Amino acid sequence: MINDTSASFAHEYREGDPEKVTLLLLHGTGGDEHDLIPLGERVLPGATLLSPRGQVSEGGALRFFRRHAEGVLDIPDLQRRADDLATWLRDQIATRSLPPRVVAVGFSNGANIATAVLLRHPGLLAGAVLIRAMMTYTPDPVPALHGTRILVSSGRADPLVPAAQVDALHALFTAAGAECSVVWQHAGHGLAPGDLVAMREWLATF
């Protein structure tokens, strides 16, 4: 286990089986680089884990990008910080000789920046698990994401992400050529046991 601040993102790294994928773990608002490590260990035992810390502080709560208010995102900041994260990830892949197939596992704010990385850097991620993701913006042009696999896990009682946004996100990824599946949990915005089951089953196919 390594915790350091190289390449501008404090992060936690755990080396795993080189035959498995690398899980890029992206925490939600108020989390840090430690939050999703236990989740990664549970849903894909033996995988390489790479978990960066968000660089934005909102009243002391860490995030990956700024927002103007709840549900009102700072899109230019989201795009810039997604580019920074992509650059850092490429450096980590090269310097650590990580398993090259990287799957993002993002929760809430982490899922939203994972979405931006998918849209702005097609091909960098082999796939993504997006837990409680919202529709952030529509890129022009829509990138080509053929061969990219995406699982969106949403809560039917989520007060922050209406079903219409989940439908729009699914439509965007499908239009981009990604293989996108949506699973609905009997949950609100927080993680639920069904999320772990869905992730474990989906990741086992990589």
Which residues are known catalytic residues? Answer: 108, 158, 189
DSSP letter at 190? S
Cα separation of 105 and 132, whole Å?
11
CA distance 206 to 143: 23
Distance of CA 174 to the CA centre of its chain: 18
Q: Which phi-psi region, left, alpha or beta, contains residue 11 (left: φ > 0; alpha: ψ -120 to 50)?
A: beta
Classify burial at 157, counting beta carbons within 10 Å of its beta carbon; exposed 0-12, middle 13-18, buried 19 or more: exposed
Tally of CB atoms within 10 A around 126: 17
Angle, vertex CA 120, rays to CA 39 and CA 80, nearest 5: 85
* CA 119/CA 139 separation, integer angstroms: 7
